[in-house]
Structure 1
Amino acid sequence: MENRELAKKIISLVGGGDNISQHWHCITRLRFNLVEDEKAKIEEINQMEGVIGSQFSGGQFQVIIGAKVADIYEELEKQLIHKNENLALKNKKKLGFVDTIFDVISGIFTPILPAIVGSGLIKGIMALFVVFGWVSTDSSSYAVLNIFSDAVFYFLPFLVAITAARKFNTKESLAVVLAAILLYPTIVNGAADGLGPMNLFGLSIPLNSYTSSVLPIILGVLLLSYVNKWIDKIIPKSLNIVFSPLLTLLITAPLLLAFIAPIGNFLGKYLEVIFTAMFDTAGPIAGLLMGGLMPIIVITGMHYAFFPSTFASLQKLGYDIMLLPMNLVANISQAAAVLGVLIKSKKSTTKSLAFSTLIPAFFGITEPAIYGVTLRLKKPFYASVIGGAAGGAVFGSLAVKTTAFSIPGITALPTYIISNSNNFTYALIGCIVSFIVSLSMTLILGFEEEDSKTIKDNPDKTQATTLIPTETKEVLPKQPAEIYSPLEGDIRDVSSVSDATFSKQKMGKGVAIFPIEGIVYAPFNGTISTMTRTNHALGLTSDDGVELLIHVGIDTVKLKGSCFEALVSENEKIKTGQPILKFDLKEIENRGFDVTTMVIVTNSFEYLDVITTEEQRVEPATSKLMMCVQ
């Protein structure tokens, strides 16, 4: 029931099912493509029990859950089963090129990671069995285990075809057919035997091995999505079931085999060559940079961009020298930093949180440690970066390799066992260096303990309640608290504004002002309690305890900060009449927005009454706008 309620609240706070165009999860995060990003109530999500944090990254909205993410996703999936899948097309239009690349790669690989990781760990177990003499590489048992570990990678195009079809919003069955065509024995065996190209009505079909490849099928399914949608439009619905798949395959398959797949194969190998060459020529420097920057790369989701080259390297060379090894030392460094916090912390709550994230970090699940401990305390995060850089330099210098794709934690260490090689010993040395450096730096640098979250809000008009301070005042003001007008303009009845959040006084009592000047002044002595990222609204708290929201315009969050200039910062002290915000009144109106500004007492419930002015025209900092009576 707890998981169901948490999933239900998350759906609501990201704008409802109609605002979710696509959703999936990785090891620790729920990932969403939203139709309107502004509807996500980040601060409210961050305050939920069971949520570590949330953020926008790479065109996605990510909710960090931790170990229970699969359970929460299962409940979320049940509640979104009838969602409108066509929203995916609407959402794609708003992503930039780089964000689109990260979003696509993440959406394709994240759902199939369990299969990839499980098979990779089997390969590590096989290496251990050989080292301990339990299994011979020539035995039938080893051959069977090798089938278990290699099957996923050999037939990887099938798995990628399914998730790519979901990501590109096309038919999964046709996508799987494309994967089957790429892996058809005639093509695979022909490539292995070095045979020349085949011929299809004059079209040359080169014979390449596409086993374990990812870019050819991704590009093929992308082409399929466009071809199939185009054919669906021109074929009558009564004949669609017959001719649409026929024509789609007859157009897509030849183009895939003749052009798309060879290009994808070339690009994958080219990426592998670039990164391998980088570590061959500048191993220590490349390792230092990658090992140190890996936590930041993971936080932003950019590590998915390395997946194609990682699989290309595993396919061609049988090992990866970059992403997985660098991720391993970075994760070990993160675990060491958390251990340092556990040792040095004086608060029981911090110790408890550090302990709960320590074990997952050793096993390669570091998001709870990053968001819950090191990044929040800052200096331990810096220490983890230094430790990761040190371990990465060792890995880069000694050319440490992993032979399988697995979660970069201690369970992945067997995948570094290579016969007649010191690779495993080198891997242990790098991990130990990373651990010692990170732990030492955490203890040396120290940290200041605090309980506040670090992820900020991005509110809009529908979530203006996040501007309400969460703590209730223990002592009410004894005298009526006066609020002066923050604007020069004409008074409007707040019940007449088009936003129901304000017109129905859901946030508290107040007034609406139609401004004739684009400057907001402080209406009392107090503090700026909250600033929105888009500067269209701000929360203030008076020295008397009045909590006030000033929201400039209706729907102005869509301006994304343009036309607004903040003159103060969050937590800054203010005095009556002080300019705190500027906005371009004419430009906002020219863009079709209602500039009516709401001034709301969000803690109205603490007062017997909020008396508003009877004047029709008010002047900033001189006209009394409201009086809060105890």
Structure 2
Amino acid sequence: MNHRELAEQIIEKMGGSTNISQSWHCITRLRFNIGSKDKIKIDDIKELDGVMGAQFQSGQFQVIIGSDVADVYQEVSDLLEGKEKAKETGQAGKQNMLDFVFDVISGIFTPILAAITGSGLLKGIMALLVFFNLLSDTSSTYIVLNGIADATFHFLPFLVGFSAANKFKTNPSIAVALAGILMYPTFMANAAGGEITSLKFIGLTIPMNSYASTVIPIILGVLLLSYVEKYAKKIVPNSLTIIFVPLISLLVTAPIMLAFIAPLGNLVGTYLEMFFTMLFDVAGPLAGALMGGLMPLIVITGMHYAFFPGTFASLDKFGYDIMLLPMNLVANLAQAGATLGVFFKTKDQKMKQVAISAFIPALFGITEPAIYGVTMKLKKPFYASMMGGAIGGAIFGTFAVKSFSFAVPGALAIPTYLEKGSNNFMFALIGILASFIVGFVATLIFKFDLGEETEQTPISSKEVKKESKILSPLSGTVKSLKECPDETFATEIVGKGLGVIPEEGLVVAPFDGTITMTTPTNHAIGIVSDTGVEMLVHVGIDTVSLDGNGFERLVEEGQKVSVGDSLLTFDIEVIKRHQLSLYSPIVITNTPNYLDVVPSVKENERVSRGKEEVLMVVN
């Protein structure tokens, strides 16, 4: 389907536009604040062509699209224009505090990342030109380029203020005005001069601080504005709203922000930066290994946004960052190495295509296609990437490798580690190469290969490692699960497996295990093996309509059974007489826990209950 059709399907399966209170996107994901989780058909959304995955995370509903996310979001935005349900700031009470914080930070920074990363990359290119003496840092060209690259960071409160206003559903123009107040030239000059440390205002003391490049003061200021504006609208008559609400909002919010909130936000940013610096000073290698290794999990959960304030505080105060950007870089390059390892190792042609297409964006810092499409899907390559990130992070932590500008943590960000008169760039290259090579080599060493799979030829038991031996619970003729008359089974929503057209009316245990599920009509039964394989045997299609007629269950839930034990009996003639299908699905309901579930018998082959192996689960 095209981008418009995909956007329409996503909105429809999310419960419609009335269930969406806010939408935005990052590099690979659509992000939504929603009204009710119960209205989200997450499994249906995951099945859409063009969707790589979907999840609830950090108080948001996220749909992973990949490189086409901007185009799909544009269609989503057009469809939702003017229809998003207004969200009051106080709705945060529906989330826990941690989810609320992550949601707020993500919602504020994601829309402005384009300006931040573009400016950061330009700074990296300038550093590269100066390093190779292709550009003088005293030339007018450099001064102009520096102005272009540095403006985003110097005036960051303006960008953050505007984005925060959209997040908190308040007036963007007043929010930008608050950013201007924080950076008013007189206040900035007093802060720089040091002679005037504070000003008096109707009994309040206004500290003279520089808020250039800060983010926490303006976020807290706009949050306060959202409440002030809301209450001002309640007390001001509608006919006078356009005049007096902005006046009250500025006169109440600005002094409180300047006297209390902004200094507090500055202090929080300072302590964040001090904490992270101390962490790496005290336990550099260990902290680096933990951060580098765990960074993929941190990114998946969206927790990396929590480090943004500390990163900007460090860049503003010291001119460099030693944690988020460097650790993200080694983790991303390790992810790229593991993905390339999958490309070289797997024999599955489809996976080869996915791996090489995911490797290229991963190399440049966009890792979601690699994570969701390759490494996490195959599990062990994901572990390999974490190992590579840990090794690279330990090297970065040992030598306190610094990033001097904010850029997407990929190959193009490498110039941001250049520093004249130091070995920072050399150590950065060592750490990057180490993380990439470890991720690549570990993937080649780990055993996970999918093998050469064909649609008609089952994989022999010698080609894969089996979790357990799964025998047929029925006697009859084997059929492909795709032929099942019930679409739920045919599309493998319940799980992978096969079907049997039974010749005898008896179901037996396919392995040693425990009965986990029975039905009042006795037409289906669930069993879990001692090794954790969960199987559902469903006798016939729509046989629930027989209301138990012709079925007899011989076991109870929680009962231990051995392979070959009788579980239930059924009357084939009763099923035929009611013109119902005898097709009986046999599926592994916890399929996602395994690399794959594959048949060990051919289609149309006859099997005997409790004697012949029919399925294998692949680690």
TM-score, structure 1 normalization: 0.76
Instruction: Say whether 1:124 aligns with 2:120.
Output: no
> How many angstroms apart in 2 are the aligned matches of 1:573 and 1:159?
68
User: What does the per-residue CA deviation read over 1:75-120, in whole Å, with 9 as the maximum and x for residues that have no partner?
Assistant: 1100000213424558533111100000000000000000000000
Task: Give the aligned partner of residue 12 of structure 2.
Answer: 12
> How many angstroms apart in 2 are the aligned matches of 1:100 and 1:149?
32
Deviation at residue 345 of structure 1 after TM alignment: 0.1
Task: Give the aligned partner of residue 593 of structure 1.
Answer: none
> How many angstroms apart in 1 are the aligned matches of 2:128 and 2:257?
41
Confirm or deny: 8 A CA contact 1:23 1:33 kept in the other structure. Answer: yes
Confirm or deny: 8 A CA contact 1:22 1:88 kept in the other structure. Answer: no
Task: Give the aligned partner of residue 39 of structure 1.
Answer: 39
- 2:390 partner amino acid: A
- 1:332 partner amino acid: L
Task: Give the aligned partner of residue 224 of structure 2.
Answer: 223
User: What does the per-residue CA deviation read over 1:542-577, in whole Å, with 9 as the maximum and x for residues that have no partner?
Assistant: 14455869xxxxxxxxxxxxxxxx969xxx999767
Task: Give the aligned partner of residue 55 of structure 2.
Answer: 55
Confirm or deny: 8 A CA contact 1:468 1:539 kept in the other structure. Answer: no
Q: In the TM superposition, what are the counterparts of 1:59-138 in structure 2 within 5 Å? A: 59-87=59-87, 92-138=92-138
What is the DSSP-based 3-state SS (H/G/I as helix, E as strand, rest coil) of the residue aligned with 2:83? coil
Q: In the TM superposition, what are the counterparts of 1:310-389 in structure 2 within 5 Å? A: 310-389=311-390
Q: In the TM superposition, what are the counterparts of 1:471-620 in structure 2 within 5 Å? A: 521=520, 523-527=522-526, 541-544=537-540, 608=579
User: What does the per-residue CA deviation read over 1:349-398, in whole Å, with 9 as the maximum and x for residues that have no partner?
Assistant: 11111011000000000000001100010000001101100000000001
User: What does the per-residue CA deviation read over 1:414-454, in whole Å, with 9 as the maximum and x for residues that have no partner?
Assistant: 00001111111110000111111111111111214399xxx
Deviation at residue 539 of structure 1 after TM alignment: 11
> How many angstroms apart in 1 are the aligned matches of 2:329 and 2:169?
34
Confirm or deny: 8 A CA contact 1:384 1:438 kept in the other structure. Answer: yes
Confirm or deny: 8 A CA contact 1:33 1:91 kept in the other structure. Answer: no
What is the aligned-residue RMSD (CA, Å)? 3.1
Task: Give the aligned partner of residue 258 of structure 2.
Answer: 257
- 1:387 partner amino acid: G
Task: Give the aligned partner of residue 558 of structure 1.
Answer: none
> How many angstroms apart in 2 are the aligned matches of 1:244 and 1:88?
17
- 2:66 partner amino acid: G
Task: Give the aligned partner of residue 303 of structure 1.
Answer: 304
- 2:125 partner amino acid: I
- 2:277 partner amino acid: T
Confirm or deny: 8 A CA contact 1:43 1:466 kept in the other structure. Answer: no
Task: Give the aligned partner of residue 597 of structure 2.
Answer: none
Higher mean alpha-carbon deviation, 53-62 vs 465-474, is at 465-474
Task: Give the aligned partner of residue 620 of structure 1.
Answer: none
What is the DSSP-based 3-state SS (H/G/I as helix, E as strand, rest coil) of the residue aligned with 2:123? helix
> How many angstroms apart in 2 are the aligned matches of 1:446 and 1:221?
52
Deviation at residue 609 of structure 1 after TM alignment: 5.7
CA 1:247–1:284: 2 relative to 1, 3 Å = same
Task: Give the aligned partner of residue 155 of structure 1.
Answer: 155
TM-score, structure 2 normalization: 0.77
- 1:73 partner amino acid: Y
Task: Give the aligned partner of residue 430 of structure 1.
Answer: 431
> How many angstroms apart in 1 are the aligned matches of 2:100 and 2:391?
33
Task: Give the aligned partner of residue 443 of structure 2.
Answer: 442
CA 1:481–1:40: 2 relative to 1, 3 Å = farther
> How many angstroms apart in 2 are the aligned matches of 1:166 and 1:481?
63
What is the DSSP-based 3-state SS (H/G/I as helix, E as strand, rest coil) of the residue aligned with 2:62? strand
> How many angstroms apart in 2 are the aligned matches of 1:34 and 1:469?
31
> How many angstroms apart in 2 are the aligned matches of 1:420 and 1:352?
44
Q: In the TM superposition, what are the counterparts of 1:405-424 in structure 2 within 5 Å? A: 405-424=406-425
Confirm or deny: 8 A CA contact 2:53 2:64 kept in the other structure. Answer: yes
> How many angstroms apart in 2 are the aligned matches of 1:386 and 1:145?
39
Deviation at residue 526 of structure 1 after TM alignment: 4.7
Task: Give the aligned partner of residue 204 of structure 1.
Answer: 205
- 1:242 partner amino acid: I
> How many angstroms apart in 1 are the aligned matches of 2:423 and 2:527?
60
> How many angstroms apart in 1 are the aligned matches of 2:568 and 2:168?
54
- 1:176 partner amino acid: V
Deviation at residue 466 of structure 1 after TM alignment: 9.4
> How many angstroms apart in 2 are the aligned matches of 1:154 and 1:528?
62
Confirm or deny: 8 A CA contact 1:35 1:87 kept in the other structure. Answer: no
Confirm or deny: 8 A CA contact 1:526 1:573 kept in the other structure. Answer: no
What is the DSSP-based 3-state SS (H/G/I as helix, E as strand, rest coil) of the residue aligned with 1:93? helix
